[in-house]
Amino acid sequence: MNRRSGAFWDVIATLLLLVIGGALLYGNLIDRSFGDQLLFYLQAPLTGAFVGGVMVLAVLLRWLGGLGSKSDGFIQFDSAEGSVGISVRAIKDFVERTAREFSAVTSVDTQLSQSRKRLEISLRVKVQAGNPIPELSQVMQERIREHMAEALGINEIHQIRIHISEILGEAAPRGDSIDAVE
């Protein structure tokens, strides 16, 4: 679901909940005859089921409208001159491009989280067989840290986690694997 349709359903769900809640409040607190009439209609099985279904649908649409909005945010970093906000998507793309510089890496998926002004990066990586994974991981972490500091000015990286999700292909002869790391 893209962001625009999510916002549309979020508005529709909110309006449905406001109308139903407003009618119930009005009927019970302001115009009791309206409340009695509303109660009469809600006691009919189809009407009550319909209103209940609309309320459940409104809550579901509201919930679905909020999905995906976290990845569209910005991460703020303070500098001497003020604060800088970089979109989460831009940082993810930058980290994934840096990780793909290694010939051993075939696929990268990045997750970012920020807590207490500390950025944490998790990469799920698929690599070619025959590469020294501890060395590859260490060099990749160092390069990501250096590139983030140089290009984006982000020095506040708390942790970079690399998860090898898959090792692809056949193992290369032992002497050829160092080339893939550098």
User: How many Å apart are CA 99 and CA 125, to the nearest integer?
Assistant: 9
Whether 97 and 49 share a structural domain:
no
Full domain range(s) for residue 100: 73-181
Pairing mode of beta strands 157-168, 74-79: unpaired
Whether 57 and 103 share a structural domain:
no
User: How many Å apart are CA 25 and CA 29, to the nearest integer?
Assistant: 6
Whether 141 and 170 share a structural domain:
yes
* Residue 181: predicted pLDDT: 52
Residues of the chain with pLDDT under 70: 1-7, 9, 65-72, 79, 117, 171-182
Total domains in the fold of the chain: 2
* Residue 110: predicted pLDDT: 93
Whether 175 and 89 share a structural domain:
yes
Question: 65, 92, 116 — which closes off a domain?
Answer: 65
* Residue 178: predicted pLDDT: 44
Question: 65, 87, 104 — which closes off a domain?
Answer: 65
* Residue 179: predicted pLDDT: 46
Burial class (CB in 10 A: 0-12, 13-18, 19+), 163: exposed
pLDDT digits (tens, 9 = 90+) for 55-95: 788 778 777 766 555 445 787 777 678 887 888 889 999 99
Question: 21, 42, 65 — which closes off a domain?
Answer: 65
Amino acid making up residue 32: R
Whether 47 and 130 share a structural domain:
no
pTM, entire model: 0.56
Whether 100 and 174 share a structural domain:
yes
CB crowding 32-44: b at 16 or more within 10 Å, else e = eeebeebeeebee
Phi and psi (nearest 5°) for 170? Answer: -90, 150
